[in-house]
Structure 1
Amino acid sequence: MPVISSLTSSLRFEFASILSFLPFAPRFFLFEILVRKNVDAKGGEEEDLVTETDRGVLLTKEEQKEVGEIAEELQKYCVNAPVKCPLIFGEWDVVYCSNPTSPGGGYRSAIGRLVFKTNEMIQVIEAPDTVRNKVSFSAFGFLDGEVSLKGKLIALDESWIQVIFEAPELKVGGLEFQYGGQSEVKLQITYVDKKVRLGKGSRGSLFVFQRR
């Protein structure tokens, strides 16, 4: 497990200090703690809360709680009607999920991670209503592949969306085929800006997306 130095006592104090003078604290302070690497006084990199954690898999319950607390604070700064905000469009890296199997399904389960090493997990939202998810992986350490889904975005209200996906497409080596059937998900956009987007699934899973 990588060392999550942002969870040392010094960062805990910094986080507490930021919360003490919200809402006057700039939002980028919270963003930097959540998804940006910083340089410490000795010139070395301090890990933030979510990167280098296999999208949250390597975090403890205590560490996940801290991510959730920061996400709740950022929600206070969310634009009105985020579903209508053009900032949602673009290419996003999935850098954290409180439920490891929510993005990627069985490929991200405890057993799946023994076989499949996730290389990239990307979501692309294209105007006006197209969503493309892609998970690239290495199987058994030498066989590269990817799973991709294309879906239609439907706005349910000012913050909730529904995406209806076509059958997944699997590429492994020179093989390419579709399997399964349609699927759908519901997601609430709880925060978005030029660099980060937060979402909450219908079952309460927290997602952190970072713009590519």
Structure 2
Amino acid sequence: MIKDDATRLSLKTELLQRVEVLGLQQALFPSTEESIDEIVRQLESLNPTEHPLNPKHLPLLLGDWQLLYASRGTVVTRPLASLPNFGGGIKIKRVWQKLVASDAGNILASNSANFDLPLLGEWKVQADGVWIWATDEQTAKVSFSSFSVQATKPLGLSGWNLPELKIPVLEFLRNEAVWITSYLDEEMRVGRGATGNLFVFRRENYL
């Protein structure tokens, strides 16, 4: 166990260093970074939380998580990357996820992103949904009930907040996605989609 803990710490340190060198823009947009993916796979093999979606692990799972790396981008960054002259202006400032327990025994998830648009200022987009986990206590089905967009610094002016535009998703239009929590400790979390896209999160304000 001591050896595994030392190896995990070393892998996490290397992972954070490589992501920092990569830079936020490249880390969150579709790219091939096999060295980072391999480090994540090694971490997953040393996962200290065997059933991360077990209710007893909820205190470890819930909270605010900053997205550090997405191997194939995200639902926000993939469309942005396809825009003409993308590199000339749009800047991702922050992507994070908030997980809270619901009264129904599920997990409520809010996925948010802040980004700058040329001439239009800073904007926030958010998707709110729910996790319903399976019996393996590692896999969840995720569906989103609403999306919202808000100009947090319109035209780059601080102190101005335009009203949030929230768009509900009708129940019959909601699609379910598979989400696997493949690694979880007090600082870091790894999730995988059905197609293998991996996401590395770090708990916000972790010391």
User: Could you say which TM-score interval applies, normalised by the shorter chain?
Assistant: 0.7 to 0.9
Structure 2 counterpart of 1:83, from 48, 53, 60: 53
- Equivalent position of 1:110 in the other structure: 82
**1:83 CA displacement:** 1.2
1:72 aligns with 2:78: no
Q: How many residues align?
A: 176
**1:132 CA displacement:** 0.7
Structure 2, unmatched stretches of 5+, are 155-161
1:28 aligns with 2:9: yes
Matches within 5 A, 1:138-149: 138-140=116-118, 142-149=120-127
Partner SS, residue 82 of structure 1: coil
Structure possessing the higher relative contact order (Cα contacts under 8 Å, 6 or more residues apart)? 2
Paired residue type of 2:137: E
Q: What's the % identity of the aligned pairs? A: 22
Preserved contact between residue 29 and residue 72 of structure 2 (Cα < 8 Å)? no
Partner SS, residue 83 of structure 1: coil
Structure 2 counterpart of 1:56, from 17, 21, 27: 27
Indicate how the Cα distance of structure 1 residues 121 and 24 shifts in structure 2: closer, same or farther if over 3 A, else same.
closer
Matches within 5 A, 1:159-174: 159-172=138-151, 173=154, 174=162
- What TM-score, normalized by structure 2, do the two folds share? 0.75
**1:166 CA displacement:** 1.5
Matches within 5 A, 1:1-212: 23=4, 25-35=6-16, 48-51=17-20, 52-54=23-25, 56=27, 61=32, 64-78=33-47, 79-84=49-54, 85-86=57-58, 87-100=60-73, 102-104=74-76, 106-111=78-83, 113-114=86-87, 116-128=90-102, 129-140=107-118, 142-156=120-134, 157-172=136-151, 173=154, 174-179=162-167, 181=169, 182-212=174-204
Q: What is the CA–CA distance in structure 2 between the aligned matches of 1:121 and 1:24, rounded to whole Å? A: 28
**1:53 CA displacement:** 4.0
Indicate how the Cα distance of structure 1 residues 184 and 73 shifts in structure 2: closer, same or farther if over 3 A, else same.
same
Indicate how the Cα distance of structure 1 residues 167 and 57 shifts in structure 2: closer, same or farther if over 3 A, else same.
closer
Q: What is the CA–CA distance in structure 2 between the aligned matches of 1:60 and 1:176, rounded to whole Å? A: 32
Structure 1, unmatched stretches of 5+, are 1-21, 36-47
Partner SS, residue 204 of structure 1: coil
**1:26 CA displacement:** 3.2
Preserved contact between residue 129 and residue 146 of structure 2 (Cα < 8 Å)? no
- Equivalent position of 2:157 in the other structure: none
| RMSD between aligned residues | 2.5
- What TM-score, normalized by structure 1, do the two folds share? 0.73
Q: What is the CA–CA distance in structure 2 between the aligned matches of 1:55 and 1:185, rounded to whole Å? A: 25
